[in-house]
Amino acid sequence: MVNFPPAPGFRTSKRDHRIVIIDGPNMTNLGARNKRVYGAIASLNDLQNFCKNFGAALGVTVTTFASNHEGAILEFIHESAESADAYVINPAGLTEYGVATKHALTETGRPFVEVHFANIVAPPTAPRGLPVKRHPVLTPGRHLELTPWFKSTSPAPSLPTSVE
């Protein structure tokens, strides 16, 4: 796992920012999934540790949660709403059907962003394309695809020394 050096000067605020990362159905099987689409990450635990270490280097507390059950995800969102500053969600198997999850995230009043390992708008034959076309419900037209450096065995890029 990558250990990130501290990034002094990257943030000027002393406030403790709390980001919650949620992984949906099928992400618990990350290490065994299609390497062409999901990359060389060995396990969901490795991904979660990567995110926590990266957050710590930025002075951000990262909390992670994963479940194959939408009800558990909803309960977690409800329980964390008071303490979270923002959410990052990979809805995975809930990409097309996670309406309840979208409502729960929206009702927190906190910002959230949807991310994916796969290129969910690419045709199935494209690199990182899924075998079926996806139409995201959580954030239609506003999702992020995880960048290739994250999924490769290459070293992560260095952190900037400051933000303008």
Residue 16: what pLDDT? 84
- Phi/psi for 23 (5° steps) reads -115, 130
Residue 129 in contact with residue 123, Cβ under 8 Å?
yes
Q: Is 90 exceeded by the pLDDT of residue 29?
A: no
* Mean pLDDT along residues 24-30: 85
Q: Does residue 144 carry a pLDDT above 50?
A: no
Q: What is the pLDDT of residues 79-121, one digit of tens each?
A: 999 999 999 998 887 877 778 888 899 999 999 888 877 666 6
Tell me the pLDDT of the chain averaged across its residues.
Answer: 75
Number of neighbouring beta carbons within 10 Å of residue 146: 18
Look at residue 80 in the predicted model and tell me its pLDDT.
97
The model carries a pTM of: 0.72
- What is the predicted pLDDT for the residue at 150? 37
Better-predicted residue by pLDDT, 103 or 125: 103
Domain locations in the chain as residue ranges: 17-151
Half-sphere exposure of 118 (CA within 13 A, CB side): 27
26 secondary structure, DSSP code: T
User: What is the CATH code for 17-151?
Assistant: 3.40.50.9100
Rg of the chain, C-alpha, whole Å:
16
Residues that are catalytic: 38, 116
What is the pLDDT, as a whole number, of residue 148? 38
Q: Check residue 92 and report its DSSP letter.
A: G
pLDDT in the model for residue 15: 78
